[in-house]
Structure 1
Amino acid sequence: MLYKFKSRSAPDLIMLEPHGRQILQIVGKTPGPSGIITAAQIPGVMAALEAAVAADEALAADAQDDADEDGAERPDTVRLRQRAAPFLEMLRRSVAEGHDVVWGA
């Protein structure tokens, strides 16, 4: 399944189901086949997502420190910051223009 996020303020954003579900759960929305984030909800959604990104970055930094001490290399991974960046940009544009963000499967 794919999540397709839409806003009149930004191009459509398509995410694989696990990544879209993760972001929706972080921002307090129930993952499902469709839904809406109203323009009024966007500032809170952005704050929640940015806090989760910061927490993920801190966790990654701690893991890197542990790996450096063990002499092991950290495998390349796609972090939450990279997955959330296009969605955050959509949210920024949408709140600036007062448009909702909707999604469908």
Structure 2
Amino acid sequence: MLYKFKSRAVADLIMLEPQGRQILEIIGKTPGATGIVTVAQIPEAIAALESAVAAEEARRAQQAADAAQEDADEVETEPVDAVHLRQRVVPFIDLLRRSAAEGYDVVWGV
């Protein structure tokens, strides 16, 4: 399944279901077949995404520091995700900012 985010301000943004669901959950929206982020909700959504990115980066930095202190062979680490949250949300944040600047809501569908 794909999520297709649309706004009259920019081209459509298409995401795979797991990533689209994650972003919707971060901004406090219920992942579903359709939905909307109104212009009034966009600043809060951007702040939530930026906060989630900062939290993930802090967690990764702490894990790296912990691994450096202990023998790397003895430390269990979670699998390395080749694409981090920051990289996934940048296009969505851009879509939100440009939509807000032009006064358009963002809608999604599957």
> Structures share a fold, TM > 0.5?
yes
Aligned to 2:97: 92
Aligned equivalents of 2:32 and 2:81: distance in 1?
30
The one-character-per-residue Cα deviations of 1:42-78 (angstroms, maximum 9, x if unpaired) are: 0111111111111111011111112233454984631
Distance 1:71 1:96 in 2: 50
Q: Percent identity at matched positions? A: 64
Q: How far did residue 10 of structure 1 move?
A: 1.3
Q: Which residue of 2 aligns with 1:58?
A: 58
Identify the residue that residue 13 of structure 2 maps to in structure 1: 13
Moved over 6 A (4+): none
Partner of 2:5, secondary structure, is: strand
Tell which structure's C-alpha radius of gyration is larger: 2
Question: Could you tell me how far apart the structure 2 residues matched to 1:86 and 1:92 are?
Answer: 10
Q: Please list every run of 5 or more consecutive structure 1 residues that lacks an aligned counterpart in the other structure.
A: none
Q: 1:80 aligns with which of 76, 79, 85?
A: 85
Alignment partner, residue 40 of structure 2: 40
C-alpha deviation, 1:96, in angstroms: 0.6
SS in 2 for 1:41: helix
- TM-score with structure 1 length normalisation? 0.92
Q: In structure 1, what is the Cα distance between the partners aligned to 2:38 and 2:59?
A: 31
TM-score, length basis structure 2 = 0.88
